[in-house]
Amino acid sequence: MEIERRVESLKEEFRTEDPEELARGLGVSIYERSDFSQLLGMFAVVDRRPCIFLNANMGERDRRIVLAHELGHAVLHQSEEGILDMVQFTLFSTNSRSEYEANVFAAHLLMDDGEVRDHLKEGVDVVSLAQTLQVDINLLLIKLHEMEKKGMGMDLPDLPPSDFLKYGHQ
């Protein structure tokens, strides 16, 4: 719930749900990298400046998801003191709380509870809903689990693995 409150506060403060606009508003620099082969994105603090590095070979949908995920790291996991020149968090750690939290941040940023609930009430299945919302189905499942935690009555399967954003995995 705390992560959702942080997301809502940022959306209100910067009057946008766009991850790129939020990053700019927070002073996070975004760099496209064409030399990433397996890595989709990375958050780092370089010379005390927060930076997000994105794989330049992604499509727009995946870029938006990865940017929202890495923005989650910037908001939730950035070193307060800026002591380290580079602190990186990737999308590949399978047992990492920070990866799950970044996924939750992205799910709340990219999907609205009401919109998700309305589509489900209309009988839209989760595969179609993920396509409609232009998100990975695993990110949608995380959103549904978060909605369930708030008592919204979702009947859900198990949570997806935290490494669902591996490059090339669809």
Share of the chain above pLDDT 90, in %: 52
| Helical packing angle, 2-14 and 60-77, nearest 10° | 110
CA distance 159 to 28: 30
Q: Which residues contact 67 (CB under 8 A, 6 or more apart)?
A: 19, 20, 23, 30, 41, 52, 54
Is residue 168 scored above 90 in pLDDT? no
Cβ(65)–Cβ(87) below 8 Å? no
Is residue 143 scored above 80 in pLDDT? yes
Least confident piece of the model among 81-90, 91-100, 104-113, 122-131: 81-90
Domain ranges of the chain: 2-95, 111-149
Q: What's the token pair of residue 82?
A: 């800026």
CATH class of 2-95: mainly alpha
The answer for 168, left when phi > 0, alpha when psi is -120 to 50, beta otherwise, is left
Q: In what order do the strands lie in the sheet with 49-55?
A: 29-33, 49-55, 41-46
92 or 165, higher pLDDT: 165
Question: Average pLDDT of 46-57?
Answer: 89
